[in-house]
Amino acid sequence: MGTPSEALIREMRRRRYSERTIKTYCGCLERFLAWCKKPVNNITKKDVREWIEFHSDKGQAGNTLNVNLMALKFYFEQCLGRKIWVDIHYTKTPKRIQRVLTKKEVFDLINYIKNSQHKLMISLMYSAGLRVSELLNLRVKDLDIEKNYGFVRNGKGGKDRLFIIAEKLKKNLHLLIENKNAEEYLFLTNRKNKYNIRSIQQIVKKSSKSAKIENWKEVHCHTLRHSFATHLIENDYSVSDVQAMLGHKSPETSMGYVHASGNMISVKSPFDYL
């Protein structure tokens, strides 16, 4: 059967969890087992409760406590078939209002990028509301440029979804893919390797600084996704449109963008208004 962590990894990959979530859950499980010092079959609800209370006493945030609970719940229930859940009430950390760029700030950020491929990558990420991991996993076959849409394959939560392609990007995307085969990644480095997330983060950070965006250190790749959603709301699209564009499970998640201010294929990307 292997170690508890190996069992957890197998089950989470089978259910198509992201590698980042798998790594987080494994870390939680391994730290708990090292602290508990008991064989897995001897662990009780009391042990789980004491572990969470131990973290709470250290002043850890409610969200951190929740991740630990979710990791242990998944392992014991999904890997071992044991109901070991405990009901613990705690105060969640208040959510910060997400940093959102104005349309001018997005325009400036993109136009301070000198490398043409890097500029296209950041433009596409903003114009479609993509997560950076989704951008880097795009393949040529995922785009239908003439019909103004593409597909995110196996996105967050293992879901596929549609995204829109801005009219202003179609020519450059055509040029990018003209000598590529359908299975190739859309964006590759000069050495024909897949980009890593850190590289894209650095591009966004450097350009934000060059564009003299206020509080540029707070600007991240995900800031562009938040800005995309907010600009859709400002352009009078509905919350349900934003929900569909971002792949949110519930409209409540998308409602968070209303403070900053269908038919999916008919949605016009805010990039076309820049």
> For 134-187, what is each residue's pLDDT tens digit?
999 999 999 999 989 888 887 666 667 888 899 999 999 999 999 899 999 999
From the list 109, 95, 96, the residue with the least C-alpha distance to 228 is 109
The residue whose two tokens read 């602290």 is 35
> For 73-119, what is each residue's pLDDT tens digit?
888 888 888 876 666 555 455 455 568 899 999 999 999 999 999 99
Catalytic residue among 55, 118, 156, 231: 156
Architecture field, domain 4-79: Orthogonal Bundle (1.10)
CB 142 within 8 A of CB 158: no
pTM of this prediction? 0.62
CB 101 within 8 A of CB 207: no
Where are the domains positioned within the chain?
4-79, 103-273
For the domain spanning 103-273, the CATH number is 1.10.443.10
Catalytic residue among 10, 161, 205, 222: 222
Q: Is 248 a catalytic residue?
A: yes
Q: Is 225 a catalytic residue?
A: yes
Q: Is 259 a catalytic residue?
A: no
Q: How far is CA 68 from the centre of its chain?
A: 20
Question: What single-letter amino acid sits at 219?
Answer: V
Catalytic residue among 55, 226, 231, 248: 248
Catalytic residue among 55, 225, 226, 231: 225
